[in-house]
Amino acid sequence: GENVEQHPSTLSVQEGDSAVIKCTYSDSASNYFPWYKQELGKRPQLIIDIRSNVGEKKDQRIAVTLNKTAKHFSLHITETQPEDSAVYFCAAVGRAGGTSYGKLTFGQGTILTVHP
């Protein structure tokens, strides 16, 4: 089955700096890679996603890159702000025709702290 590894587990940056979180996946049949943000005591919410036929996607201060050959993808946050402090999760979804069809597997999470 799919295995998603996420690093680092914690990340501390100064306001205005950039933050990068990296994930690797094991199932080459996975074809969709979302990122979720979870604030303390709340439910996770989607912040950006990327499909396997795209190498990079950007939405204002956040961007995601995907390297299918190496089976890794990354989240980039620029000009970080204190409100970016949260737990971030990457995930991978198995595609139709594969044994993990529809299965959505998360990484272990990264606690991001942005210091004012």
Distance, in Å, from the CA atom of 72 to the CA atom of 79, rounded to the nearest integer, reads: 23
Distance, in Å, from the CA atom of 36 to the CA atom of 13, rounded to the nearest integer, reads: 19
For the chain, the farthest-separated pair of C-alpha atoms sits apart, in whole angstroms, at 47
For another protein, which residue of 35, 105, 112, 114 counts as binding (CB under 8 A)? 105
Residue 96 binding another protein, by CB under 8 A: yes
Neighbours of 1 (CB within 10 A): 9
For another protein, which residue of 22, 72, 76, 103 counts as binding (CB under 8 A)? 103
Binding mask 18-57 for another protein (x = CB under 8 A): -------------xx-x-x------xxxx--x-x------
Neighbours of 3 (CB within 10 A): 11
Binding mask 74-93 for another protein (x = CB under 8 A): ---------------x-x-x
The SS3 assignment for 49 reads strand
CA 101 to centroid of chain Cα atoms: 20
Nearer to another protein, 28 or 46 (CB): 46
Residues near another protein (CB under 8 A) are 1, 6, 9, 31-32, 34, 36, 43-46, 49, 51, 89, 91, 93-96, 101-109
